[in-house]
Amino acid sequence: MKDIYELLNDIDLDISEFEDVKVSQEEREEVKKELKKRMKRRKPSVWKKTMTAASIAIGVSAASLFGLSFTTFAEEIPVIGGIFKLFNDSGLYEEYDANANKFNLVKEDQGIKVTINEAVFDGRVLYVTYEIESDKDLGPSPEIIGVPKINFSHTFFGGFKKEVKKTDENKYVGMTTGELNLQGKGLEKGNFGFEIEAITPDRESGSEITGTWNFEFDLEAIKNHEQVVELKSERDGVTFSLERITYTPMSFIINYDTSFTEEVDGKWDFEFVDIKEVRDNLGNVYLDSSVKGDSNRILYHSITVKKLDPDASSLIITPIAELSMADGRDEYGIYRHKNSKAPIEIFELEPIIVEIEK
């Protein structure tokens, strides 16, 4: 698959038609701004992404390029598109690329080049995207052995999600998400490390390519507002405690806790409380059985959903509890089969209504 520069090189142009003139920094920034505006007007499908981005760049009018030499165009135009959009099947990451910090951190070892592309930190969750180029095929979806960490801090990441997709021959993109194990207010900034120790091309064979792909970068938390809620919903010995909601330009994060009475603990083998539904007073649904893919769950007591409607004034959050019995016990402890006939009880708790702080 050709990149943007290869596509531009294929165009038959008479360079004598263009005049090479000097331009100011302000004019260059104006061209960048115009390109970004044009790119946001279309939402291409994933498989057409590279070609469409190239078409947008090629289609910029002569008026937009007035005062730029062709060499300056190639050097000044930033990377078109973002990896976040390649993982946006659910719609959750629609706004992430626009709010991401752009990096170009490259490490190469064992014939594999890893490039840190973008990162977003919302005070609690870190999102990192990267590109992988290899001198050999790494299979359809290689596994990254290694996770981010936060340096010089007593805080650590408590949960991770990783996904890698193949985009072309020996080329891949990936996204790793880590959630800090935090109580109370989120962090304002951090020094992060991302150390990849190995890449596994074939998960079934267990073969690993060990190497050193270590990165370090500083990030400030994206502008956010944390609303302390501290509201509870209780039913039949189960308590759902909604602690706080964090609003960012691209999403909002719900943090909660759960507890059970001794009677419930003594009766059931497994106790689980989740959020069944999140909607606002305008009727927008952010999470339910039909749109649950729009959420990002890492740790048990945190959920991130897509951007809040700016006109919404309240949120309605409905918890659901699942209490069940085990089917048996093995060397790993008690277990329950997926289609178990053992006793189970599922019920909703009273919805919690939150008045949104503006």
pLDDT in tens, 38-62: 343 333 333 333 333 333 332 333 3
Query: How far apart (Å, rounded) are the C-alpha atoms in residues 171 and 115?
Result: 11
Confidence of residue 72 (pLDDT cuts 50, 70, 90): very low
pLDDT in tens, 113-169: 999 999 999 888 899 999 999 998 898 889 999 988 888 887 777 788 888 999 999
CA-closest candidate to residue 199, choices 178, 177, 170, 179? 170
Would you call 328 exposed, middle or buried from its count of C-beta atoms within 10 A (0-12, 13-18, 19+)? exposed
- DSSP class per residue in 78-117: PPPS-GGGGG-TTSTTTTTGGGPEEEEEEEEETTEEEEEE
Tell me which residue of 306, 298, 346 sits closest to 126, measured CA to CA.
Answer: 298
**Cα(120)–Cα(311) distance, rounded to whole angstroms?**
25
pLDDT value at residue 68:
32
Token duo for residue 208 = 């690993």
CA gap 225, 233 in Å, rounded:
24
For 38, list phi and psi in degrees, rounded to 5: -65, -40
Give the residue among 316, 283, 279 at the shortest CA–CA distance from 294.
Answer: 279
Do residues 317 and 242 make contact, with C-beta atoms less than 8 angstroms apart? yes
| pLDDT of 71 strictly over 90 | no
Q: Which domains does the chain have, with CATH numbers?
A: 4-81 (no CATH), 85-220 (2.60.40.1630), 225-355 (2.60.40.1640)
Instruction: Convert the pLDDT of each residue in 214-251 to its tens digit.
Output: 999 999 999 999 999 999 999 999 999 999 999 999 99
